[in-house]
Each structure stands twice: as C-alpha cells, then as structure tokens.
Structure 1
Amino acid sequence: MKHTQYFLFTRERSDRQGIKDEWIQQVFHFPEKEEIQSDGRIRRWAKIEENQKYLRIVLLDDGETVHNAFFDRSFKTES
C-alpha cells in the first residue's frame, strides 16, 4: 500500500493506532461511498463490521496513495 508521510505521522495518534491495514484495504477496494474533493483527492467510506463504525480514507489524486484514514463520526448513510 502506497502512503504519504502525513499518513505515517497521523497513524501514530492514539485515536488512529487501532486502525488495521486490512480495514484500509477493505475501504480502498470496496467503498460504500466515494467523493472527489475539489483538490482532486478521493474520499472513500465503508463500514467496518468489527466495530460498527465507518472508516474514511483519503487518497491522493493518483487514486493509489493513502493520505489519511480515520473513523468518521459524522458520516451518515443515505436513506
């Protein structure tokens, strides 16, 4: 998995240390939702069944490099 230095830095935060690589891969390959930001970066979300939370990953505009990953408390499913 390609990633930025920022990703490595933020991954050390206590609220992100429990995020597993396989969860990031799950969101990368099987997103439930995807949005393109105005800067070209790509947001993807998927629910992690293990803890019933939605994980958001942010990719660079190359679509391959992970820039950020965190549990998105404000994510709402569309009904």
Structure 2
Amino acid sequence: MKFKKTKYFEYRMKRPDRQPIKEEWIELVINNPIKTETQSDGRIRKWAEIPETGKYLRVILLNDGLTVHNAFFDRSFKKEKKSES
C-alpha cells in the first residue's frame, strides 16, 4: 500500500534526523501498530517498533486514516506491558 503524504510531511522528511526513516517502516506502522490513539483534532497516532533500529516510530495520519502528516522516532514511547490472565 502506498500512502498519501501531506506537504508538511514531505518538508519534515528533508530534516537530517528524518532522512533515515524508510517508507516501508511507515507502512509497517500503519498496518501493524502496537498502539493507536486518536487526537482531539481527529488525527491518528500509531506506533510500532522498527526491529532494524530498536526504536519506536510514531506515524501521525490525518483523520482519513490514509494520509501521513508526520513520522519520527519517538524516544519517549514506552511499550505497555500486557497483563497476563
């Protein structure tokens, strides 16, 4: 699945700290998030671990759920432990 991109996303991805982020990783987060939240403005946040980096990538989608607005490695993200029952 190729995703749509906002102009803001295209601009932000030119930053040196964003250039290592691969589109395939963004697709991984969109399709297989370990956590999803909806912001008050309707935008959707998704996180997933990128095995090659050992980091968590956060992807922000517009409220259509298809257009990427932002993507970055989220240093503050902590994976929630699942309770065993």
What TM-score bracket applies, with the shorter chain setting the length? over 0.9
Matched, 1:55 2:50: no
Matched, 1:40 2:49: no
Secondary structure of the residue aligned to 2:25 is helix
Whose radius of gyration is greater, 1 or 2?
2
Unaligned residue ranges in structure 1 (runs of 5+): none
In structure 2, C-alpha distance between the alignment counterparts of 1:27 and 1:77, rounded to whole Å? 14
Give 1:20's aligned amino acid: K
Unaligned residue ranges in structure 2 (runs of 5+): none
Report sequence identity in percent.
Answer: 62
In structure 2, C-alpha distance between the alignment counterparts of 1:42 and 1:76, rounded to whole Å? 18
TM-score when scaled to structure 2? Answer: 0.92
Residues 32-54 of structure 1 show CA distances to partners (whole Å, capped at 9, x for unaligned) of: 10000000000000000001000
Number of matched pairs: 79
In structure 1, C-alpha distance between the alignment counterparts of 2:80 and 2:23, rounded to whole Å? 26
Map of 2:68 onto structure 1:
66
Runs of 4 or more, structure 1, over 2 Å off, are none
Residues 10-42 of structure 1 show CA distances to partners (whole Å, capped at 9, x for unaligned) of: 000000000000000000101010000000000
In structure 2, C-alpha distance between the alignment counterparts of 1:69 and 1:51, rounded to whole Å? 15
